[in-house]
């Protein structure tokens, strides 16, 4: 085994946290996951894998303390009463099995919870509309309500202790918690001892912290999560003023400070807008004000950066949510000197999208994320090959690279043939677009490991025909019995997508480009109109690229706003802001209905009111067609397949079903796992089921 670089020894020092001790400085901070109380087995397996991977502390997501704080459809944690203890105890036990500490983040959402499930009117420091477009208002808390909240929090802390947790959180962050609402001048207009001055607004925070320590502090560390800056300037809490003052007031009370910025879209900003370590300018002062351990986040994947943070006194523990999702074994890989095997987070926030959609989160880099329990997938271990037969993978994009890597790890003899000289497929091309450079890590991680595998051969610049494949497979020196096609997909240039099921009229009168054209270096001319009926990142990022190329750009979409699906990745606001600042003309809620020489015709999606606009180049961001011609050519020649000894012919990734990069990676990994596997049953994976008890 490779030895750890001594430079990183500091990362593996123990850190006392109140009555408990972390075995190293790697700390998985609380993060949501789309599992929660709805899927406790899935949750426990996922957290347990992280503990196995070397994280010294592994925390839950938000765990609601009472029905008065009901997060609706979100699959978060729940600790309303004793009946919720067993599900959480299962997670704590899974973490303890691998020698890590388990932390629980208790939360009351205040005005952030509309309470649709419980139907209990929400509570807040003062009367406030809920933090959504729901027609619900939170009522102002009485002194009795405040006493009740303190009681609920104490009871939840005791239940957390009973469930076996080692750290219990008092949570005031992300503008999603009742304690943060009391701290905020914007939401706390009280005139009693809980409002007005900062000292008064901190009162409830202090009381809950002291009472939690009194309740569980004999065995559990009490951690505080606090957003030191809301990025709102004078309107909100800032690191220069009230954020610093809160730390000073409570400096020695908790056993650990977990500090970040608010709101969630800032705390978990995508790599398109923020780079590694972007929170340090806001949280860097905290360690100077307290003797207690400090943990912070910043999408850290570089061990050199981690060491620097410790040595410079910025923090005591390296916090991570997304990097721990991309690689649950990141600490062990640093400890064992396997740095080139780290799956670095690309900051795309596909993991976050899983939570917003209330499904088990997925990860672009780590296809096993969310599959630990239901499919039995482990990020570092895979079933060995069932034969010595060879496998041909055609296409070196995200699906092909992942498939070849997983097959190589299984022990198969693999040949990967890529038509171009560059590996990565769409990942390489898209990573050259504005803000997406870190997406190239999807390619780099897999290409690096493939180069090391002696049983995998890479052929670049090798475009294979159906005849080539049959010929290679039939030759003794190749002898491939399994062919997996990862030949990608191509953007349509006829406009067919959600709004149009037939080609848009008049496209022959205009220069029409697709994202493929622009990524291949084809230049647009004059005034550009982009019609985005795909609604993820591509339309917005191409508008940015073309505007930076000094074109006049109009971005048209039938959706309510630009890059609408990126609400799930929490970057829609930043995307629309950037485009407006660049001077891109935005036309949401409009459809492209026809094209004419030198202009396009748009229609309001509600009134069908028509307008015409100058256009020299039309860019269509609509659907993609799978490049499956090779598959159909081979499939139509069963005699040739039999003569060549080909037992498996399968499309994977975008060639099978065009989707996001994470879906392509997952598809490639699934194909590698299923090769020569026993025939799957009718249910492809385990499901969490509700147990229905017959009434007695």
Name the token pair of 591. Answer: 């459809």
pLDDT in tens, 361-388: 999 999 999 999 999 999 999 999 999 9
pLDDT of residue 153: 98
Query: What are the two backbone dihedrals, phi and then psi, of residue 286, each rounded to the nearest 5 degrees?
Result: -60, -45
- Beta strand pairing call for 26-28 and 617-621: unpaired
Q: Is the pLDDT score of 474 beyond 80?
A: no
Q: Is the pLDDT score of 516 beyond 70?
A: yes
CA proximity to 263, closest of 175, 186, 187: 175
**Kind and range of the H or E run holding 74:** none
Name the token pair of 361. Answer: 């989160």
Confidence of residue 683 (pLDDT cuts 50, 70, 90): confident
Residue 145, strand partner residues: none
- DSSP string spanning 78-98? E-SSGGGHHHHHHHHHHHHTT
Residues 6+ away with beta carbon under 8 Å from 684: none
The C-alpha atoms of residue 591 and residue 622 are separated, in whole angstroms, by 12
The C-alpha atoms of residue 511 and residue 519 are separated, in whole angstroms, by 16
pLDDT in tens, 438-450: 999 999 999 999 9
pLDDT of residue 695: 65
pLDDT in tens, 42-54: 999 999 999 999 9
Catalytic residues: 32, 171, 174, 267
pLDDT in tens, 100-115: 999 999 999 999 989 9
pLDDT in tens, 112-168: 989 999 999 999 999 999 888 889 999 999 999 999 999 999 999 999 999 999 999
Q: Is the pLDDT score of 98 beyond 70?
A: yes
For the chain, list the domains and their CATH numbers: 6-356 (3.20.20.70), 390-487+628-674 (3.40.50.720), 491-625 (3.50.50.60)
pLDDT in tens, 568-621: 999 999 999 999 999 999 999 999 999 999 999 999 999 999 999 999 999 999
Q: Is the pLDDT score of 2 beyond 80?
A: no
User: What's the mean pLDDT in 671-679?
Assistant: 91
Percentage with pLDDT > 70 across the chain:
98
The C-alpha atoms of residue 322 and residue 301 are separated, in whole angstroms, by 10
Confidence of residue 249 (pLDDT cuts 50, 70, 90): very high
Query: What are the two backbone dihedrals, phi and then psi, of residue 206, each rounded to the nearest 5 degrees?
Result: -65, -45
The C-alpha atoms of residue 272 and residue 135 are separated, in whole angstroms, by 34
């Amino acid at each position: 085994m490779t030895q750890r670089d001594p430079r990183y020894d500091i990362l593996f020092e123990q850190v006392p946290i109140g009555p408990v001790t972390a075995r190293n400085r790697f700390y998985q901070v609380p993060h949501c996951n789309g599992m929660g109380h709805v899927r406790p087995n899935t949750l426990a397996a996922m957290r347990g894998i992280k503990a196995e991977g070397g994280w010294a502390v592994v925390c839950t997501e938000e765990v609601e303390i009472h029905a008065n704080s009901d997060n609706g459809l979100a699959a978060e944690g729940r600790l309303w009463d004793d009946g919720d203890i067993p599900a959480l105890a299962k997670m704590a036990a899974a973490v303890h099995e691998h020698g890590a500490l388990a932390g629980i983040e208790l939360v009351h959402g205040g005005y952030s919870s509309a309470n649709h499930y419980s139907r209990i009117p929400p509570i807040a420091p003062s009367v406030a509309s809920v933090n959504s477009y729901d027609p619900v208002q939170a009522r102002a808390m009485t002194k009795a309500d405040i006493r009740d909240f303190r009681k609920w929090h104490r009871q939840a802390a005791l239940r957390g202790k009973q469930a076996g947790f080692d750290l219990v959180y008092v949570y005031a962050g992300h503008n999603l918690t009742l304690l943060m609402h009391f701290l905020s001048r914007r939401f706390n207009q009280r005139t009693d001892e809980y409002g007005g001055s900062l000292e008064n607004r901190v009162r409830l925070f202090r009381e809950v912290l002291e009472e939690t320590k009194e309740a569980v502090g004999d065995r559990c560390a009490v951690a505080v999560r606090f957003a030191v800056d809301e990025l709102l300037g004078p309107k909100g809490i800032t690191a220069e003023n009230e954020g610093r003052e809160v730390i000073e007031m409570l400096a020695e009370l908790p056993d650990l400070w977990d500090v970040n910025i608010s709101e969630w879209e800032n705390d978990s900003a995508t790599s398109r807008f923020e780079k590694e370590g972007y929170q340090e300018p806001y949280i860097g002062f905290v360690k100077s004000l307290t003797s207690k351990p400090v943990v912070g986040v910043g999408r850290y994947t570089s061990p050199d950066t981690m060491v620097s943070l410790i040595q410079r006194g910025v923090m005591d523990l390296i916090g991570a949510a997304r990097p721990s999702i991309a690689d649950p074994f990141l600490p062990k890989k640093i400890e064992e000197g396997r740095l080139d095997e780290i799956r670095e987070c690309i900051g795309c926030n596909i993991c976050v999208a899983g939570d917003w959609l209330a499904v088990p989160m997925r990860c672009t880099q780590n296809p096993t994320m969310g599959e630990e329990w239901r499919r039995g997938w482990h990020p570092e271990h895979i079933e060995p090959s069932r034969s010595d037969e060879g496998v041909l993978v055609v296409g070196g994009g995200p699906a092909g690279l992942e498939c070849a890597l997983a097959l190589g790890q299984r022990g198969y003899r693999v040949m990967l043939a890529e038509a171009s000289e560059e590996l990565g497929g769409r990942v390489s091309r898209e990573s050259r677009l504005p803000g997406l450079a870190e997406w190239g890590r999807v390619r780099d991680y897999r290409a690096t490991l493939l180069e090391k595998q002696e049983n995998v051969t890479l052929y670049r610049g090798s475009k294979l025909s159906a005849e080539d494949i049959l010929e290679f497979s039939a030759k003794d020196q190749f002898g491939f019995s399994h062919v997996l096609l990862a030949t990608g997909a191509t953007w349509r240039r006829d406009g067919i997508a959600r709004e149009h099921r037939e080609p848009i009229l008049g496209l022959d009168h205009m220069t029409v480009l697709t994202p493929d054209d622009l990524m291949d270096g084809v230049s647009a001319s004059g005034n550009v109109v982009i019609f985005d009926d795909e609604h993820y990142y591509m339309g917005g990022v191409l508008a940015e690229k073309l505007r930076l190329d000094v074109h006049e750009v109009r971005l048209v979409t039938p959706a309510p706003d630009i890059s609408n699906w990126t609400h799930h990745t929490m970057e829609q606001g930043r995307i629309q802001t950037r485009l407006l600042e660049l001077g891109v003309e935005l036309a949401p809620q409009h459809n492209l209905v026809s094209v004419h020489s030198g202009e396009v015709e748009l229609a309001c999606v509600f009134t069908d009111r028509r307008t015409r606009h100058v256009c020299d180049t039309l860019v269509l961001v609509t659907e993609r067609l799978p490049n499956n011609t090779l598959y159909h050519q081979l499939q139509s020649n069963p005699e040739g397949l039999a003569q060549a000894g080909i037992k498996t012919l399968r499309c994977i990734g975008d060639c099978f079903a065009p989707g996001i990069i994470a879906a392509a990676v997952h598809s490639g990994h699934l194909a590698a796992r299923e090769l020569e596997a026993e025939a799957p049953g009718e249910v492809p994976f385990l499901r969490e089921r509700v147990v229905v008890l017959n009434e007695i």
